[in-house]
Copies of this chain bind each other. A is one copy, B any other.
Amino acid sequence: MSDSKKIDATAGPLTYDDVRSVSPALEYYTRESLLGGLWKRPELSPRDRSIVTVASVIARNQNIEMPVHFALALDNGVRPAELSEIITHLAFYAGWGNAMAAVAVAKDVFHQRSIGIDQLPPAKDKLLPLNEEVEKQRANQVGNNFGAVSPGLVQNTTDFLFRDLWLRPALAPRDRSLVTVSALIANGQTAQITYHLGRAMDNGLTQAQASEVLTHIAFYAGWPCAFSALPVVKDVFERRIAH
């Protein structure tokens, strides 16, 4: 492997030589421990690892990592329509500005690969069927707790998220949950993990996969984010066994 190969293969300026010129150790860990180690663990597919990583770098606004990880995601089997929808999803779950920073990078990645608008999800799409029972329960609980505190937020949560965004077919509910949980862990939003990890597992994320998400995201969001999530994840796992 040429030492001047760009880590950021598409737009960014960093090469392995650059990393070594500041920290030979960081270059070694990146090559050997991450790309040659973590990413090859069988507990999570490369496609899932890319989903977790993309969600984490967008949630934390790590612009410098976006080009390489958007490109790697496409190489790992994340379809352009899915990457597009991950960015749309994170506008709501990590903030509009985080999604716009991702747009600024993704537009170049898409352009370089000649990915046109015909490969992207339409603005308005035929929605997946809604489980009315589950959604009614969710809406009632949130409404009872917070309907008087912020009626606008509670109504928008129903209208924009659970009766629209979550039903868009461009990203499977299980993958959408994986994006959400990854963003919550990466941003230290531990108070929201319980609900969304439960939902993720209802949507098909296995406990072994959720466990490995923590192993993976520790490198990209930092160890403290993973460790702050651990007790919450443990609690979710134990409650599901108890039922």
Contact = CB atoms under 8 A, between A and B. Distances in A.
A63 B95 CA distance: 13
A194 B161 CA distance: 27
A150 B211 contact: yes
B103 A22 contact: yes
A1 interface: no
A175 interface: no
Contacts of A93: 222-224
A60 interface: yes
Counted per complex, copies of this chain come to: 3
Given A43-B152, A150-B233, A224-B93, A98 B218 contact: no
Interface in A11-33: 13-14, 18-30, 33
A230 interface: yes
Contacts of A100: 7, 14, 19, 62, 64-65
